[in-house]
Structure 1
Amino acid sequence: MAMLIGIDVGGTNLRLGVVEYDEAIYNAQPRLIEEKRFHADFSNLCKSHQGNPEQAWQTILNTTAAAIESVQVKYPKVSAVGIGFPGFIDPKSQKISQSPNLPGLSNVDLSVDLSRMIELPVITENDALAAAYGEYVMHLSQTNGQTSSQANSLIYLGLGTGVGGGLIINGQPFQGQHGVAMEVGHIAVKPNGRLCGCGNRGCMEQYASASGVVISYFEASGEHCNAHEIANRAYKGDANAIAAYSLAGITLAQALAHILKVIDVANVVIGGGMSAGWSLMEPSFTQQLNEDLIPALRGKVNVSISDMGDQAGMIGAAMLAWQKI
């Protein structure tokens, strides 16, 4: 019986899960036996320490190590840690080459640095790819190992502070040669649009993420609100809030239509905190996707909302650690 820790690092929160997996049973389903959430505002931390990224990095390491140590006493049999981190992860060195939403981080080695602190093997993977693998692993076990397009391949879109993407092809996570495969949030959908943390303009995540919705609402109303409050206002009929979420749906569909022209995968799973407001995005998303898909794909793409909540990233990171270690 393997016991693992899976961590999902976000811009504002760190989620930790202890995962139990019986490798002796074919297609066993991993079991999340405990989960904890920690406030870790890494996004603002990095922005405020752009002149001193080493200090921000040490804080990230200390916060992550403290989270792990908070469960190590209770679960001494944990053998490895998997971490889903927002950024470009080099598939060979595992270094984080860049993190657009955590500015200042460049060529940092979370796996090595954290492993020295906690004395456990650490595997680092892109957060959206970890979530995609979590969705795949749980879906595969639910289908009892039957091969199908739905079980073998999927695209995952994670809507949070930014927008991440993960691709599973024939049961294997696809990183790309340089670790930047499926950085779908940085597909340009608005020429000369909003400046993005990646350095380009008009990226989809500047409109379809929680941050994007906040910007859209501010531009229309002049008010600063978080995405959750904007959703509440949309449900109450606030026209500017409705428009902000509608724009999010449109831009997400525009980007997905382009992705599907390149990667012909039948199943798309949408997760992340922003997916809680899917009913506000779905009408404009569906209309735009139907307009932008090439005719050969219309009616053949199954888009579903994740039912795993915050668990996909933790389970996926843990299982990637088990697979690699």
Structure 2
Amino acid sequence: MTTLHLGVDVGGTNLRFGVFADVECVASYRTEMNLRERCAQAGTAEAAQKLVLEALAGGYHRLREQCPEIASVGVAFPGFVTAEGVLRQSPNIPHLEKFALESALADTLQLPVLLENDANAAAFGEFWALRQQNHAAQSLIYVGLGTGVGGGWIQSGRPWRGEGGAAMEIGHLTVVPGGRRCGCGNQGCLEQYASAQGLISSYLEYTGMNADPKIIAQLAQDGVPGAQRAFQTLAEHLGQALAHVVKVLDCRQIRIGGGLSGAWNCFGAALETSLRDSMIPALRDTVEIAPGNAGDEAGMRGAALLAREVLFD
């Protein structure tokens, strides 16, 4: 009997559940749920934690009816995750500080659970996509552009968390000193310029109008200056931040994922230019940057594969 592993990708506005046999997704489920708003409305840490556990358990039980052989659960969650499976903070989802999510969900489901930062999990999913192509890379930088900006780093084939779970929090690098206020408590973070909300804020600043990222992308493709400028701002700040990261890590593969990666044709060329122009001469033209290959499955796949490797190998 094939052993199956469930991967859960938690986003600010939706949850994705996927059951994997090795790297193949054999069943999946997606639910629209704005955890950011729901947890804010919950009002207390206890209520918010209960809401999250119920949402995760609900998706698991729905898929377990189809796949009773699920042996473990990997959860990709936005925020600072410790090696002990504690969510120290989720800047974009309120009331979840110091939440022992890994052990709480394991008790709820009576299954082994692994908690990982969402970008680290997606990075691992993208790394496996490279492996499927027989790519020789041993390291990879991943950036997820969605509700926030997450960063993951695969080093020697495994995610690198850092000592306290906050490694590769590229979204909270300061790119505009004294700039827009961020959910982490600082100002001018990359997340405020390169996330979906950052794109909306830039478009509002340049045009005085509010619009959904999909609409901004369509306007940019249609040649509307304010929309194009908003994407240019995203690309310039992201490229500069990534250049600094590459200088530190000397990693040659970068993949861009998350919902905004679907608008790659609106900012990809500008991002490549910004990255190259911001790089030290010795590293120019040595880094491959591209949209991710694993698509919406990256976070789920990475979480499931990490649960399998860490809990069973």
TM-score, length basis structure 2: 0.96
Q: Percent identity?
A: 42
Query: C-alpha separation between the residues in 1 aligned to 2:309 and 2:259?
Result: 27
2:40 aligned partner: 47
Residue aligned with 1:11, SS: coil
1:10 aligned partner: 11
1:99 aligned partner: 90
**1:221 Cα shift?**
2.2
Residue 191 (structure 1) aligned to one of 147, 153, 177: 177
**1:243 Cα shift?**
0.9
Q: How does 1:65-80 map to 2 (within 5 A)?
A: 65-80=57-72
**1:65 Cα shift?**
0.7
Query: C-alpha separation between the residues in 2 aligned to 1:141 and 1:230?
Result: 34
Query: C-alpha separation between the residues in 1 aligned to 2:8 and 2:101?
Result: 12
Residue 295 (structure 2) aligned to one of 309, 318, 321: 309
2:192 aligned partner: 206
2:105 aligned partner: 114
| Contact 1:6-1:82 within 8 A present in 2 as well | yes
1:244 aligned partner: 230
Q: How does 1:164-175 map to 2 (within 5 A)?
A: 164-175=150-161
Residue aligned with 2:70, SS: coil
Query: C-alpha separation between the residues in 1 aligned to 2:292 and 2:272?
Result: 17
| Contact 1:129-1:166 within 8 A present in 2 as well | yes
Q: Deviations over 1:51-104 (max 9, x none)?
A: 42321221111111111110111111100000000000011x210000111122
Residue 32 (structure 1) aligned to one of 25, 30, 53: 25
Residue 55 (structure 2) aligned to one of 55, 63, 83: 63
Residue aligned with 2:295, SS: coil
Corresponding letter in the other structure for 1:32: C
| Contact 2:114-2:307 within 8 A present in 1 as well | yes
1:25 aligned partner: none
Q: Deviations over 1:20-47 (max 9, x none)?
A: 02xxxxxxxx211122211110112233
Residue 268 in 1 paired to residue 239 in 2?
A: no
Structure 1 spans left out of the alignment, 5+ residues: 22-29
Give the superposed CA RMSD.
1.2
| Contact 1:19-1:33 within 8 A present in 2 as well | yes
Residue aligned with 2:175, SS: coil
2:265 aligned partner: 279
1:27 aligned partner: none
Corresponding letter in the other structure for 1:291: D
Structure 2 spans left out of the alignment, 5+ residues: none
Query: C-alpha separation between the residues in 1 aligned to 2:293 and 2:307?
Result: 23
| Contact 1:247-1:284 within 8 A present in 2 as well | no
**1:295 Cα shift?**
0.4
1:136 aligned partner: 127
**1:241 Cα shift?**
1.1
Query: C-alpha separation between the residues in 2 aligned to 1:46 and 1:68?
Result: 20
Matched pairs, number:
310
Query: C-alpha separation between the residues in 2 aligned to 1:290 and 1:235?
Result: 24
Q: Deviations over 1:193-252 (max 9, x none)?
A: 101111111111100111100111112222222211111122222211111111111111
Query: C-alpha separation between the residues in 1 aligned to 2:76 and 2:6?
Result: 11
Residue aligned with 1:61, SS: helix
Q: Deviations over 1:244-297 (max 9, x none)?
A: 111111111010011011000111111111001111112321222122100010
| Contact 2:139-2:155 within 8 A present in 1 as well | yes
Corresponding letter in the other structure for 2:90: S
